[in-house]
Structure 1
Amino acid sequence: MAGDTSNARLWANADVWIAPIGTARPADANSAFGAGWSLVGLLDGDDGMPETRDEDTNDKFAWGGDIVRSSRTHFKFTKKFSVLEDNPTTRSLIWPGSTASRIVVPKPVPLLVAFETRDPEAGIVYRKITAGHAIVTVDGDVDQNETDLQKVVLAAVVYPDTSTSPATLFIPQTSLAVTSLVIAPATKALTAGQIGALTATATLSDNSTRDVTLHPSTAWSTSATAKATVQYGYVTGVAAGTATITATYMGASGTCAVTVS
């Protein structure tokens, strides 16, 4: 079989976030959404988040029927998603301008919208955050019955940032794969009861490095708890002997050989 299976993606999880215009975007795909961003909530995974590209094409033909040129105008990009929750965020999209006491004729407002998909097995996060803004409206009917979860299909028409040339639709963010993990020091000598510090450094696919010693996704373990224990990168000597300390982060692992006297 030709090709690289590691480049194939199975987007097992996804989220949609919205924010008022002017809200700061996350620095990168490894950074959380900050103040001002609201999570839409549960999405219908079977519906996914399909994209539609519409434009008017005018083909020019020479005498004899050969196509010579084509002009393209009126480009429109729409991305849909199906929400399964009834919460303040979804209500603000379905009934913009309404309150708990009044449902008014909806008048959608421009928003920042972020579409995030995740491939947990590969440890990849991919985001598309609107560069300009989006207008979100209900697409089709809203069905309420006794056998199915209520689902509302929303369509986000994306308005590009026209200050750039060409105009920019999205700011993409992709988490970087971890190519290696190194624990420093590689060896550590302790006495019983002594505590020593280790550092775990990850090298990413762009050759940059990151200290992940205290990262929530970093798992620390020891091969012999009777000789040495480890927590958050801190190793404690227990009794004379040896142990291998291992740190694992995003599929990559590193080790340190500990000797306790």
Structure 2
Amino acid sequence: MAGDVANPRLWEGADLWVAPVGTDLPTTLAAAMSTVAAWEAVGLLSEDGASESRDEDSSDFFGWGGQLIRTRRSKHKRTITVTCLEDNLTVFGLVNPESTVTTDDLTSTNTRTVKIPKSDKRAFCLEMTDGDIKRRRFVPTGEVTEVGEVTLSDSELSAYALTITIYPDSDGVLYQDIDNDPQGAVTP
């Protein structure tokens, strides 16, 4: 059997972090995300994990006689979907950009004023662990472009399925994976 049983990853833990566009990551993987004050954790995530999807158009071109000679790819789109299980201020801001929360200290009453969502680009980092292996998927510019149906019930958790659309930079870079995985190291 070809292959190495040390290569597959089972991401046993994960956190999703969000910050303003332009926010840097901590300088090392050993440094906690919280060491850079602008990064906020969204809190507990669903056991279903995160999923990445790709969408693009392709056009095939054929030469005389029907032989495929070229394929043009365009309109590439990449998204990450994750389900947040907490109803905290960070999640509220992602689900309802431009909306506000005020608290009356005398009555301990919060008022959430929800507005029609506007574009709200942010930086995202999905931090995953598999034993001693850590990977940070750093998305310099993304935006929550879809929020799944939210159940308000006494039999199910209220959860927020967020689809994050990833925007490329001027060089076409969508994201960077930064990890300490020896299986992915380049040998000199």
Report the TM range for the smaller structure's normalisation.
0.7 to 0.9
Greater than 6 Å deviation, 4+ residue runs: none
Match of 1:115, SS state, is strand
Give distance in 1, aligned partners of 2:68 and 2:54. Answer: 23
Partner AA of 2:41 in structure 1:
L
Aligned match of 2:104: none
Question: What does 1:52-201 align with in structure 2 at a 5 Å threshold?
Answer: 52-100=53-101, 101=111, 102-120=113-131, 123-131=132-140, 133-162=141-170, 164=171, 167-175=172-180
How many Å apart are 1:206 and its aligned residue? 8.6
The runs of 5 or more residues in structure 2 that have no matched partner are 102-110
Match of 2:47, SS state, is coil
Aligned match of 2:46: 44
Question: After superposition, what is the alpha-carbon deviation per residue over 1:56-77, rounded to whole angstroms, capped at 9, x for unaligned?
Answer: 1010012222211000111111
Give distance in 1, aligned partners of 2:181 and 2:65. Answer: 52
Partner AA of 2:79 in structure 1:
T
* Aligned length, in residue pairs: 173
TM-score (normalised: structure 1): 0.62
Partner AA of 1:169 in structure 2:
L
Question: What does 1:244-255 align with in structure 2 at a 5 Å threshold?
Answer: none
Bigger radius of gyration: 1
Percent identity between the aligned chains?
37
Question: After superposition, what is the alpha-carbon deviation per residue over 1:172-227, rounded to whole angstroms, capped at 9, x for unaligned?
Answer: 210255xxxxxxxxxxxxxxxxxxxxxxxxxxx899xxxxxxxxxxxxxxxxxxxx
- Structure with the larger RCO, 1 or 2 (CA within 8 Å, 6+ apart): 2
CA contact (8 A) 2:151 2:157 kept: no
TM-score (normalised: structure 2): 0.85
The runs of 5 or more residues in structure 1 that have no matched partner are 178-204, 208-261
Partner AA of 1:36 in structure 2:
A
Question: After superposition, what is the alpha-carbon deviation per residue over 1:81-112, rounded to whole angstroms, capped at 9, x for unaligned?
Answer: 00000001000001111112311111131100
Partner AA of 2:65 in structure 1:
G
